[in-house]
Structure 1
Amino acid sequence: MVEAPVPIRAAALDGVPHGFFGRANADGPCGVSTGEVAGLQVGFGAGDDPEAVAQNRRRVIAAVLPGADLAMPFQVHSPDVAVVTGPVEGDARPRVDALVTATPGLLIGVVTADCAPALLADREARVVAAAHAGWRGAKEGVLANTVEQMIALGARRGRIGAAIGPTIAQASYEVDAGFRDRFLEDDPANARFFQPGKPGHHQFDLPGFVAAQLENAGIGSVENLALDTYGDAARFYSYRRATHRGEAAYGRQGAFVGLPPESP
């Protein structure tokens, strides 16, 4: 039996409608996609049945902010951010990796399959954001740019809380020496996000790096949920795991945050 999706929530965003999702709930199925991407698959780029994706997204909306409109970007692994005031879909989606809104009744979200999803909110200012932070986007400043866009809408840096959802863990993320060198060229202190691996390789702590970028932006609190997409195949999609297994497709899970409609 397919149950309703249960949002994974973060204390840093208490009081704000939000949720991280995987392909399944902790205790069983919650989506309608089938085949290699079976489960709560919410990305249109996975070769999935579009109606299944749409139904999964409707399930997410019902679980986080019933009746809300939905806005999601066309993600391009960039540092770019867009402010949205209403739903966007299809070719109208901005080609960015984070969305910010202050519009009541609008749910914003991103999809991931190992990259870090970050949700941010200033409850008092009623400004929220959803960011997709792969290594490239995080390195180039998508998180700092997201915070700045929130401030432009009235948020205050010290009031912003952020949560990092399901992400590939350091033990699962092997990179070569050249990858590490690019981070050290930016800042030698980035060495702390790498542990030695097999000869010529290292293990990269993407969620740790993302948390540091958020902390460097000076926000009030950062929470890492420490959920490993690669290591939990029953619960999460993973691009790297699918590649290692030689699978033809990989699914995308989602992270969503929104503002309830204002009281009359």
Structure 2
Amino acid sequence: MSTLNFDRQIEVVTPTQQWSGVSLFSTTRFGGVSHPPFDSLNLGFRSGDDIDKVKANRDRLGALIPNHPYWLKQVHGDVVHQIDMTTEVSTWSMPEGDASVTTSPGRVLAVLTADCLPVVVADEQASVLGVAHAGWRGLAAGVLERTVERMKALRPEAKHFRAWIGPAIGQHSFQVGSDVFDAFVLSKPETETFFKIDPGQPEKWHADLAGLAEHRLNQNGVASVEKSGLCTVTDSRQRFFSYRRDKSTGRMATIAWLQQ
């Protein structure tokens, strides 16, 4: 995992592997103007933070990227938006959905997270790009499958897809009940391997959300998947916002675009 420090304040994390033709990163908490408990680079308007401070944080992010990101009103579903250079993009316009795809260089895709999985997918020729927000509900609903399907429809000739799963809640921190277990295992029994029974509470499991995502990506033709391995809950420097840890908290952004 690489860490970049763009202006000695805004710290981001990136994949270890190089992505030819694609720029991508996840922000951390550091480098913004928001006050606790949203300190400091909170990018989520719906978090409860002061709107002007979130806008100032988004302006800071905007100085690092080629265009305004295509923000989404995320609803833990499987709706995927197709974005091109004619698509209207603004800070305030946020259509409902949990993923977006593009074939247009310079068009910036974004998702917000604070424990859920941020997932970036592209083909090795960098001809098509997708970014998805996948909590357990969206993952079970098929948001990653829908994202890859739309990408393949846009570029039928594209081969050799790869993905990066950014900072998210780790298995040791993600205790779940039978609703989550059943949402995956009843339809795909082989996914039981991604759940470990909590020894102290037999009716509870610890779910490997990143492992479940990698499994689904592999099944849908994304052979190369890099998992960041960074847990938003237990990171020793508390670089990441975590809803499960703090409840009242901000949001990081995972950003990606096809290079010109």
TM-score tier (shorter) = 0.7 to 0.9
- Conservation of the 8 A alpha-carbon contact between 1:138 and 1:210: yes
Cα deviations across residues 15-36 of structure 1 (Å, max 9, x unaligned)? 4111111212xxxxx2221120
Q: State the partner residue of 2:206.
A: 203
Cα deviations across residues 223-243 of structure 1 (Å, max 9, x unaligned)? 101110011262011111113
Deviating 4+ runs (over 4 angstroms):
none
Q: How much has 1:126 moved relative to structure 2?
A: 2.3
- Conservation of the 8 A alpha-carbon contact between 2:72 and 2:95: yes
Q: TM (normalized to structure 1)? A: 0.87
Q: How much has 1:155 moved relative to structure 2?
A: 5.8
Give ranges in structure 1 of 5+ residues lacking alignment: 25-29, 244-248
- Conservation of the 8 A alpha-carbon contact between 1:106 and 1:259: yes
Alignment of 1:1-264 (within 5 A): 3-10=8-15, 11=17, 13-24=19-30, 30-63=31-64, 65=65, 67-85=66-84, 86-89=87-90, 92-154=93-155, 156=157, 158-197=159-198, 198-199=200-201, 200-232=203-235, 234-243=238-247, 249-261=248-260
- Conservation of the 8 A alpha-carbon contact between 2:125 and 2:158: no
Computed over aligned residues only, the root mean square deviation of the Cα atoms, in angstroms, reads 2.0
Q: Which amino acid aligns with 1:205?
A: D
- Conservation of the 8 A alpha-carbon contact between 1:12 and 1:163: no
- Counting matched residue pairs gives 248
Q: Which amino acid aligns with 1:124?
A: Q
Q: How much has 1:179 moved relative to structure 2?
A: 2.7
Q: TM (normalized to structure 2)? A: 0.88
Give the percent of matched residue pairs that are identical in Structure 1 and Structure 2: 35
Look up the SS of the partner of 2:230 in the other structure: coil
Give ranges in structure 2 of 5+ residues lacking alignment: 1-6
Look up the SS of the partner of 2:37 in the other structure: helix
- Conservation of the 8 A alpha-carbon contact between 2:27 and 2:253: yes
Q: How much has 1:129 moved relative to structure 2?
A: 1.2
Structure with greater helix share of residues: 1
Give the 3 Å change call, closer, same or farther, for CA 90–254 of structure 1 in structure 2: closer
Q: How much has 1:256 moved relative to structure 2?
A: 0.5
- Aligned mates of 2:144, 2:234 — CA distance in 1: 25
